[in-house]
Amino acid sequence: MQPHILIVDTMHPSLLQLLSTNQWTYDYLPLLQREEILARIGSYQGLILRSKVTIDRDFLMHARELKFIARAGAGLDQIDIKEVQKQHIALLHAPEGNRQAVAEHTIGMLLALFNQLHKADREVKNKIWDREGNRGIELQNKTVGIIGYGTMGKAVAKCLTGFGCKVLGYDKYHPIFATPDAISVELDTIFDETDILSLHIPLTHETANLLNSSYFSKFRKPIYVINTARGEIVNLTDLAEALETGKVQGACLDVLENEKLQTLTPIQDEVFQKLAQSGKVIFSPHVAGWTHESYIKINEVLVDKIKKLDFITKSHE
């Protein structure tokens, strides 16, 4: 059976080329909104998307012919995984496609923070030449605790080893692992030894608001926090307080709990301004996995995974 595929998000043109090479038919309709998608989805065997729509029970009730959902990215928090499994629909995503991008962005943000590049750049552009005020911190010999040792966590650990860091990895679902790039540890060791904490976990009911005042208080030493995962994992109010008390020395935030900055509530805006004015935080607009290369690699990973689905392989036997 050859799938007929609906694509509802803007994608790199390489995806269309790859689908055509495999002789799969598709409709590329990135301007469709949810109600329009629901009206159409019933006749498709495949759906490719990024983050436009939430895939819930109501959506799947309209998708009776659907054999697979392919998420062009890593996170699956907008998809009801249990409901998809209940409907026997294959769920694909592509963390392998942007893991290097996330790893390099993570290291880049950390180096910029440690060397105060955001501050130094602004000052020099204003003809302020303050060498002592921009003295940096070396990454070498720091202990980095990675929470979530999956595709992204492993890529970050591999990059860190070149800097002479001690890397500790903790993963609730894979508590014991063997890798040359990190030491498998219990969470208590993360709390006891970490200088830098890097988050690489999905957003779930267990991880939402995970980093709060209580969590920060468990670390023996002041830490730096990096979040390139999901914004809702870090309680920004508590992070701002931890920065003020010195429990957290600095933060790199590629993601925020509300990324539509023009819609921040008064409380959210107050916290955002505290973080922005602290001089201890570097932001980026959810682009850690968003490089020119990853835009293409994600498509290649997805198409390769689609080719391996049972109903595809059987059609070629």
**Of 56, 44, 155, 176, whose CA–CA distance to 97 is shortest?**
155
**Of 203, 268, 264, whose CA–CA distance to 230 is shortest?**
203
User: In the Cβ-directed half-sphere of 84, how many Cα atoms lie within 13 Å?
Assistant: 21
Instruction: Tell me, yes or no, if 230 is annotated catalytic.
Output: yes
Q: Which of 12, 193, 286, 300 is catalytic?
A: 286
Q: Which of 93, 200, 230, 257 is catalytic?
A: 230
Buried b / exposed e over 83-95, threshold 16 CB at 10 Å, is bbeeeebbebbbb
- Pair of tokens at residue 262: 């023009």
Instruction: Tell me, yes or no, if 286 is annotated catalytic.
Output: yes
Other beta carbons within 10 angstroms of residue 214's beta carbon come to 10
Look up tokens 């198409």; give the residue: 303
Task: Give 8-60 as a DSSP string.
Answer: -S---HHHHHHHHHTT-EEEE-TT--HHHHHHHGGG-SEEEESSSS-B-HHHH
Q: Which of 138, 259, 270, 293 is catalytic?
A: 259
Residue type, 47: L
Instruction: Tell me, yes or no, if 65 is annotated catalytic.
Output: no
Look up tokens 């249990």; give the residue: 82
Decide: residue 296, CB within 10 A, 0-12 exposed, 13-18 middle, 19+ buried: middle
Other beta carbons within 10 angstroms of residue 54's beta carbon come to 12
**Which residues does the annotation mark as catalytic?**
230, 259, 286
